[in-house]
Chains A and B, each alone.
Chain A
Amino acid sequence: MQPDQEQSIHEELESITHFAQKSLCVANTLGVANELAPDDAGSTSKSFPHAAWEACANAGIQGWTTPTTYGGQGYSTSDTCKRLAALGLGCDDNGLLFALGTQMWGIQKAILRFGSDSQKEKYVRGLSSGEMIGGHAINEPDSGSDALNLSCTAKQTSNGYVLNGLKTYITLAPVARFSLVYASTNKEHGRWGISAFLVDATTTGYNAKPADAMMGLNSAPVGSIVLDNCEVPKTALLGKEGLGASIFNYLQLWERSLLLAPQLGTMKRQLNNCIHFAKTHVRNGVPISSHQSISHKIANMAIKLNTCQALQDNAVNILDADEQSGYHASMLKIQINEAFEQNSRDAIAIFGALGYSANEEHERNLRDAIGSSIYGGTNDMQRVLIASHLGL
C-alpha cells in the first residue's frame, strides 16, 4: 500500500471514530450518562436508539458490506472489520454495535448469499439504507443448545407456506420489519428438512412481543414471535427447501467471525482509558500506575487485545478463502468474549468505586461482555465444536 493510501485510510478510520463519539455514544443518544437501567428499559422498542440507527444509516454503515448494486459501499470483509473496530473505539453503546452486527452478518449476508434478485432488491437495499430492520428467528423454547431442534413448521399450500410455531430470544424482534425464520418443511428429514423464510412483520399471524429485560446490551431489544397460521407466498422461501441447516451453519460462521469485531475498538478505548487514569490518578503522592498490581493488569489487558486482533485477522483471512470450517471462528468468539469480560473486570478494579458506578461505562461493559458468552452459541458449545474439529 502506498503511503498516501495508508494516510487516507487512517483519516477515514479517525473520522468514523469521531462520528461514533459525537453521534452514537449513550450519553448523546439517550440523553443520560448511562443506558436506561434494565428494569426500566426492558427489551422494548423504547430501549432501541432509533436516532443512532438512523445516524448510522445516513453514514452508510449498514451498507458497508453491501454491494453497490444494492445501495451499499461494497467494502471487503477486511476493510469492514477495520471500520467496525474504529466504530467500537468511538461508540460506547455495545448494544447498538451488536444490533448492527446481527443485521450485517446474520441477515444481509444470508440474503446476499442465498436470496433471489427480488429478495435482494427488497430486503438488502432496505436494510442497507436503514429503512428496514430484520430479526433472526432461530431459537425456540425447547431447542436449547441444539438450535436446529425445531418444532416450528411450514406447511406447503397451493399459494405458498403456512407457518406455525413460537420463536424466542430474537434480537431486534420488537423493532424488526421482517424476520428470517427457520421452520421444518419436512419433519421426516429432521434438521435436513428445515427451510428458511423471509417473513414480513405485517403478515397476518405474525405477532412479535418484547421479551423480559436482559442483563446487558439493552439497546438491542430482544423479543419473541408467535407464528399462528402465518401464510407467506412461495417467494418468501430463502434458497431451496431443506437448505435451512446449511444457511444456519453458514451464518454462524460469519457471525462468530465478525459479530465481535467492534469490541476490538471497545477494548482499545478501555485500555487507553485505564492507562490515562492510572498515570493521572495520584494516591499517596504517586500515580497508581507505579504499582505493579495496576500496571500488570493493564499489561494483561494489552496482551489480550493483541491476541484478539491476531485471531480476528486470521478469521477474516479464512472467510476470504471461503473455508467453511468453524474451528477458528469458534476460537475467536471465545477469545474476544473472555478477553472483553476479563478486561472489563480489570478496568473496574483499576477505576475502583468509579468503575463500579452505574454512571460510567465500565460496569456496563462487563454486563454487555457476558452477553457474548451466550449469543451465537454459548462458549461451552464453541468448545464442543473446537474439540470435535480436533477429533475428540
Chain B
Amino acid sequence: MNQPEEQIDTIRCFIVDEIIKDPSVEITPDSDLLIGGYLDSVSVVRLVAHLEDQYSVKIPPEDILIENFGSIQSISDYLSTRV
C-alpha cells in the first residue's frame, strides 16, 4: 500500500470507528462526507484535531472548507499540500 492509500485508509478508519461508530457503513474515498451528513461541525473539529496530531500538521480554520474536507480523497489531497 503506498502512502496516499495508507493515509486514505487511516482517515477512513478514524471516521468509521470514532465518528460514525458503525463499521457496516461503507465509505469510499469519494463519498460525500459533509453534505452526506457523516461529519457535523463537532465531528469536523475532532477530525481536524486527529489529523493535526496524526500527521504533525497545523490546519488553519481558513482551510476548513468543503473543497478540502468534502471527501476522504480531498482530505488526503489537502494534507499532501500541508506536509
Contacts and interface: CB of A to CB of B under 8 A. Distances in A.
Contacts of A323: 49, 52
Nearest to A385: B42
Contacts of B42: 384-385, 388
Contacts of A113: 61
Interface string B7-51: 000000000001000000000000000110000111111101100
Interface in A230-282: 239-240, 242-243, 245-250
Given A189-B34, A192-B34, A384-B42, A324 B66 contact: no
Contacts, number: 65
B49 to A, nearest CB: 4
Given A114-B62, A249-B61, A324 B34 contact: no
A323 B66 CA distance: 21
B45 A324 contact: yes
Contacts of B41: 148, 191, 245, 248-249
B37 to A, nearest CB: 8
Most A Cβ at <10 Å: residue of B18, B45, B46: B45
Interface in B42-78: 42-46, 48-49, 52, 58-59, 61-62, 64-66, 69-70
Given A148-B41, A190-B35, A246 B46 contact: no
A285 interface: no
A389 B46 contact: yes
Given A189-B35, A249-B41, A324 B49 contact: yes
Nearest to A188: B35
A326 interface: yes
A240 to B, nearest CB: 7
A247 B70 CA distance: 17
Contacts of B49: 323-325, 389
A239 B60 CA distance: 13
Given A243-B65, A246-B65, A322-B58, 15 more contacts: A113-B61, A114-B62, A192-B65, A192-B69, A240-B62, A243-B62, A245-B41, A245-B44, A246-B61, A246-B64, A249-B64, A324-B49, A325-B45, A326-B45, A389-B46
Interface of A: 113-114, 148, 188-193, 239-240, 242-243, 245-250, 322-326, 384-385, 388-389, 391
**3 closest residue pairs by CB, A with B:** A246-B64, A192-B66, A250-B61
8 contacts: A192-B35, A192-B66, A192-B69, A239-B62, A243-B61, A323-B49, A324-B52, A389-B46
